[in-house]
């Protein structure tokens, strides 16, 4: 109780201070605009069902869409390729408390990352639990604080996202109260760690690693959110490159197919101050080496704009599915890269 | 000589690991049945804290399916929910849920079935030991749930539920994070209590509190934690002392007899029924590490190790913090795992 009260002023400071506006604006300039359409009524929810904060979105090889969202309870929904509701997965599951990410691996297994339970779960394509990583803190000790425990190989502290290399090795960004990236083999055994429980600014250190993706060569891309950058790591988690010109580093996606692209979101912040919407909210399309190809989207509560993109699916680099926190919305964007044009802003 | 040194070093390192027996323990070959429980699409096992079978080979799983919900803004912050008890038939087909929304279900710890097929659950948070009859009706309650929970956060209690300092061994019929239940041939009830208390509480078959023995400590007869309990056909009581990594053996009156110190952390115990009883004990890995321990020992009642099997991990035939073993049939075991949120059916060869 005492600690809870003591931390309130600190929390208020964090909420009010925020990053300077200068940091929010991406350094990249004169980036051409990629036109797009947002598919109307993309997801068709059954009557009486609602999405909450739609923090996790992913598609499988059949074009089904999975949404991991924060309702009164955290829930995972599956929709078919036409956006029709198929089913709920994990109803009442112990590893669900506060959604953060959902991803689908090469075998169409569905992985959830839950920052309330500190559990990462691998579900079969049918929705049965196949593997559990991390552990939910015991209820017996009462309402939990989010304290990390340095040096833990198999426990997370509000983890954020998951990715795989072509061998099936598992990468987890961990998270809000650790500041590290973990690598496990496909059977869940620890292999490597980059960063630590402490935040840092050097290459290979992180300050809120918030999203993660891997390419076909096994390189790992980390959205290093509070350092306002993306970091590229090699397969053994050694730092390779830093992309610090595309804004905050909120979430990251690598497309599939022979020519892979990198998508990075300079999401507008939670809690907006005057002016912040004008300079944030766009998504960048890049080559894996960091070359910027174009940008699309802007902050807006209205359909077609974004109200804090939390996650992107980019299986098809011309069909981007975005999940938004503050508008409780999932949109499917059809990009028209051939019509990319320079835009004067 | 040159080649001997690394071997010696390796041997020293092995000894330093502690729990492992000094002489090589035979490995017991075993299989794990794929998908032993067919779960309906809307039911997910959480941490499978307890698993047990009855005489008809029905399978019961007491599992942590979510965390308790606290109702705020009431005179007491009331906590409820969080665990469920499921019944499956011998083929693993789901039969029913027992005790849905029960006042006594918050943090599943164990389930056991007595010789009359009554189903007993132990809950680590409501501090209840509950007896259900085979039809699932409540027959007896031991212990009592606290009326309110501290919110937010639980300050460390300086007094145990039931009085005294935590682990002081107070004579009381109230529990503090109890872990397991067992019965002798006369129907007397033994409760290992537990993770905050460190003792064994004995009740007669009618639920009358008889006595309690042990307190927190590492002396013979005391416990670091009383994690698990089993009673053999002659009424000897085996208690898994997780904190001190030993199995302590008592007579039915609580007189200390002996301790087995070579099988690690006995988080789950089971004694087979029948004439030639054997004892299974799981050296469960801690939930934060799958690179250590995890094996299950098969022993004679005198502590002689027959063999061991398994290791910590996430694959089939690996274990993630085993918390329960059912051994009604000598070489067919059900194990409940905390870390992997699953039940495995094992056949020893």
DSSP secondary structure letters along B168-202: S----S--SSEEEEEE-TT--EEEEEBSSS-EEEE
On chain B, the residues whose CB falls within 8 A of the CB of A128 are 39
Cβ-defined contact of A139 to B152 (cutoff 8 Å): no
On chain A, the residues whose CB falls within 8 A of the CB of B70 are 143
Give me the mean pLDDT over the A20-44 stretch: 90
User: In this structure, are residues B203 and B218 in contact, taking their beta carbons and an 8 Å threshold?
Assistant: no
Measured in angstroms, the CA of B250 and the nearest CA of chain A are apart by 29
- The model's confidence at residue A140, banded by pLDDT at 50, 70 and 90, is confident
- The model's confidence at residue A36, banded by pLDDT at 50, 70 and 90, is very high
Q: Return the DSSP state at A338.
A: G
Cβ-defined contact of A139 to B47 (cutoff 8 Å): no
Residue A14 pLDDT greater than 50, yes or no: no
Q: What is the pLDDT of residues B114-140, one digit of tens each?
A: 999 999 999 999 999 999 999 999 999
User: In this structure, are residues A34 and A294 in contact, taking their beta carbons and an 8 Å threshold?
Assistant: yes
Task: Give all strands of the β-sheet with A65-70 in edge-to-edge order.
Answer: A53-59, A65-70, A74-79, A85-89
Long-range contacts of range B9-18, CB-CB < 8 Å, 24 or more positions apart?
B17/B292, B18/B245, B18/B264
User: In this structure, are residues B344 and B315 in contact, taking their beta carbons and an 8 Å threshold?
Assistant: no
> Which chain B residue's Cα is nearest to A155?
B288
HSE (side-chain half, CA atoms, 13 Å) at B184: 16
User: In this structure, are residues A302 and A292 in contact, taking their beta carbons and an 8 Å threshold?
Assistant: no
Residue A4: what pLDDT?
39
Using CB atoms, pick whichever of B153, B287, B314 lies closest to residue A142. B153
Residue A3: what pLDDT?
39
> Which chain A residue's Cα is nearest to B65?
A94
Q: What is the pLDDT of residues B296-308, one digit of tens each?
A: 999 999 999 999 9
Cβ-defined contact of B151 to A136 (cutoff 8 Å): no
Residue A178: what pLDDT?
95
Cβ-defined contact of B314 to A188 (cutoff 8 Å): yes
Residue A9: what pLDDT?
40
B154-189 in b/e form (b: 16+ CB < 10 A) is: eeeeeebbbebebbebbebbbbbbbbbbbbbeeebb
Q: How many Cβ atoms from other residues are within 10 Å of residue B255's Cβ?
A: 11
On chain A, the residues whose CB falls within 8 A of the CB of B47 are 94, 136
Cβ-defined contact of B65 to A92 (cutoff 8 Å): yes
Q: How many Cβ atoms from other residues are within 10 Å of residue A5's Cβ?
A: 9
Cβ-defined contact of B313 to A132 (cutoff 8 Å): no
Give me the mean pLDDT over the A14-35 stretch: 75
Using CB atoms, pick whichever of A3, A92, A132 lies closest to residue B341. A132
For chain A, what percent of residues have pLDDT higher than 90? 83
For chain A, what percent of residues have pLDDT higher than 70? 90
Residue B18: what pLDDT?
44
Residue A185 pLDDT greater than 60, yes or no: yes
Q: What is the pLDDT of residues A74-95, one digit of tens each?
A: 999 999 999 999 999 999 999 9
Using CB atoms, pick whichever of B43, B65, B154 lies closest to residue A141. B154
Residue B13: what pLDDT?
41
Sequential pLDDT tens for chain B (349 residues): 344 444 444 444 444 444 444 579 999 999 999 999 999 999 999 999 999 999 999 999 999 999 888 887 677 788 889 999 999 999 999 999 999 999 999 999 999 999 999 999 999 999 999 999 999 999 999 999 988 877 666 566 778 887 888 888 888 899 999 999 999 999 999 999 999 999 999 999 999 999 999 999 999 999 999 999 999 999 999 999 999 999 999 999 999 999 999 999 999 999 999 899 999 999 999 999 999 999 999 999 999 999 999 999 999 999 999 999 999 998 999 999 999 999 999 999 9
Q: What is the pLDDT of residues B51-60, one digit of tens each?
A: 999 999 999 9
What does the alpha-carbon distance between residue B57 and residue A51 come to, in Å, rounded to a whole number?
A: 42
Residue B76: what pLDDT?
76
Residue A144: what pLDDT?
59
Q: Is B8 helix (H, G, I), strand (E, B) or coil?
A: helix
How far out from the chain centre does Cα B15 lie?
A: 27
Using CB atoms, pick whichever of B45, B63, B287 lies closest to residue A135. B287
Residue A143: what pLDDT?
63
Cβ-defined contact of B288 to A128 (cutoff 8 Å): no
The pTM of the full predicted model, rounded to 2 decimals, is 0.89
Q: Is A192 helix (H, G, I), strand (E, B) or coil?
A: strand
Degrees (nearest 5) of the Cα angle A192, A193, A198? 170
What does the alpha-carbon distance between residue B261 and residue B182 come to, in Å, rounded to a whole number?
A: 22
Measured in angstroms, the CA of A86 and the nearest CA of chain B are apart by 13
> Which chain B residue's Cα is nearest to A151?
B288
Question: Chain A residues within 8 A (CB-CB) of chain B?
Answer: 1, 3-4, 87-88, 90-95, 97, 127-129, 131-133, 135-136, 138-143, 145, 149, 152-155, 187-190
What does the alpha-carbon distance between residue A119 and residue A85 come to, in Å, rounded to a whole number?
A: 26
Residue A165 pLDDT greater than 80, yes or no: yes
Closest CA to B296 of B326, B256, B268, B337: B268
User: In this structure, are residues A164 and A171 in contact, taking their beta carbons and an 8 Å threshold?
Assistant: yes
Residue B22: what pLDDT?
58
Cβ-defined contact of B314 to A132 (cutoff 8 Å): yes
Cβ-defined contact of B315 to A135 (cutoff 8 Å): no
Cβ-defined contact of A143 to B154 (cutoff 8 Å): yes
Query: Where would I find the beta strands (DSSP E) of B12-93?
Result: 30-32, 47-53, 59-64, 69-71, 78-80, 83-88
Residues 6+ apart with CB under 8 A from B267: B227, B228, B240, B242, B282, B283, B284, B321, B322, B323
Residue A156: what pLDDT?
96
HSE (side-chain half, CA atoms, 13 Å) at B3: 0
For chain B, what percent of residues have pLDDT higher than 90? 80
> Which chain B residue's Cα is nearest to A149?
B288
In degrees and rounded to multiples of 5, residue A279 shows phi and psi of -115, 10
On chain B, the residues whose CB falls within 8 A of the CB of A156 are none
Over chain A, what is the mean pLDDT? 91
Give the CA dihedral B153, A11, A229, A336, nearest 10 degrees. 90
On chain B, the residues whose CB falls within 8 A of the CB of A140 are 107, 124-125, 177, 195
Least confident segment among A138-147, A313-322, B71-80, B83-92: A138-147
Give me the mean pLDDT over the A270-278 stretch: 79
Q: What is the pLDDT of residues A226-265, one digit of tens each?
A: 999 999 999 999 999 999 999 999 999 999 999 999 999 9
């Amino acid at each position: 109780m005492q600690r809870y009260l003591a931390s309130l002023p600190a929390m208020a400071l964090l909420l009010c201070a925020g990053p300077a506006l200068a940091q929010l604006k991406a350094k990249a300039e004169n980036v051409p605009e990629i036109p797009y359409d947002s598919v109307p009524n993309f997801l068709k929810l059954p009557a009486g069902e609602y999405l909450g904060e739609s923090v996790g979105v992913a598609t499988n090889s059949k074009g089904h869409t999975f949404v991991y969202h924060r309702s009164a309870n955290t829930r995972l929904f599956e929709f078919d390729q036409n956006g029709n509701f198929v089913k709920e997965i994990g109803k009442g599951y112990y590893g669900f408390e506060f959604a953060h990410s959902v991803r689908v691996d090469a075998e169409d297994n569905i992985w959830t990352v839950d920052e309330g339970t500190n559990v990462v779960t691998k579900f079969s394509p049918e929705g049965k639990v196949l593997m559990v990583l991390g552990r939910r803190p015991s209820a017996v000790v009462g309402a939990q604080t989010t304290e990390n425990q340095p040096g833990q190989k198999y426990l997370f502290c509000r983890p954020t996202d998951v990715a795989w290399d072509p061998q099936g090795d598992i990468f987890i960004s961990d998270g809000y109260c650790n500041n590290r990236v973990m690598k496990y083999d496909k059977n869940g055994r620890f292999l490597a760690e980059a960063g630590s429980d402490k935040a840092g600014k050097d290459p290979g250190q992180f300050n809120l690693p918030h999203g993660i993706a891997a390419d076909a060569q096994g390189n790992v891309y980390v959205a290093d959110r509070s350092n306002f950058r993306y970091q590229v790591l090699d397969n053994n988690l050694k730092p390779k490159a830093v992309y610090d010109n595309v804004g905050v580093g909120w979430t990251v996606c690598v497309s599939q197919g022979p020519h892979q692209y990198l998508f990075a979101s300079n999401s507008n912040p939670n809690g907006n101050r005057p002016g912040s919407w004008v300079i944030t909210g766009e998504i960048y399309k890049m080559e894996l080496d960091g070359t910027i190809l174009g940008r699309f989207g802007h902050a807006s509560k209205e359909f077609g704009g974004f109200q804090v993109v939390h996650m992107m699916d980019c299986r098809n680099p011309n069909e981007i599915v975005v999940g938004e926190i503050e508008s409780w919305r999932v949109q499917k964007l059809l990009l028209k890269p051939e019509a990319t044009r320079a835009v004067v802003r | 000589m040159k080649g001997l040194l690394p071997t010696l070093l390796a041997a020293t390192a092995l000894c330093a690991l502690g729990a492992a027996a000094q002489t090589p323990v035979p490995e017991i070959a075993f299989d794990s049945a794929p998908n032993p429980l067919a779960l309906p699409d809307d039911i997910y096992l959480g941490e499978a804290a307890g698993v047990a079978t009855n005489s008809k080979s029905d399978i019961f799983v007491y599992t942590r399916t979510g965390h308790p919900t606290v109702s705020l803004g009431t005179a007491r912050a009331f906590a409820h929910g969080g665990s469920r008890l499921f019944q499956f038939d011998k083929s693993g087909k789901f039969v029913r849920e027992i005790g849905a929304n029960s006042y006594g279900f918050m943090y599943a710890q164990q389930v056991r079935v007595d010789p009359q097929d009554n189903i007993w659950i132990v809950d680590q948070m409501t501090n209840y030991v509950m007896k259900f009859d085979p039809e699932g009706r409540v027959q007896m309650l031991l212990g009592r749930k606290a009326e309110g929970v501290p919110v937010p956060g639980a300050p460390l209690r300086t007094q145990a539920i039931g009085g005294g300092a935590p682990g002081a061994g107070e004579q009381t019929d109230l529990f503090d994070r109890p872990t397991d239940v067992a019965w002798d041939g006369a129907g007397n009830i033994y409760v290992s209590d537990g993770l905050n208390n460190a003792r064994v509480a004995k009740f007669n078959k009618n639920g009358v509190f008889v006595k309690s023995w042990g307190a927190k400590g590492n002396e013979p007869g005391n416990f670091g934690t009383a994690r698990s309990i089993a009673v053999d056909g002659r009424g000897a009581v085996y208690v898994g002392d997780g904190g001190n990594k030993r199995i302590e053996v008592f007579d039915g009156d609580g007189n200390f007899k002996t301790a087995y110190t070579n099988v690690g952390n006995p988080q789950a115990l089971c004694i087979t029924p029948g004439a030639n009883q054997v004892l299974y004990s799981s050296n469960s890995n801690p939930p934060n590490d799958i690179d250590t321990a995890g094996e299950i020992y098969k022993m004679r009642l005198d502590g002689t190790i027959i063999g061991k099997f398994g290791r910590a991990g996430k694959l089939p035939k690996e274990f993630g913090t085993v918390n329960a073993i059912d051994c009604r049939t000598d070489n067919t075991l059900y194990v409940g795992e905390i870390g992997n949120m699953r039940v495995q059916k094992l056949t020893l060869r």
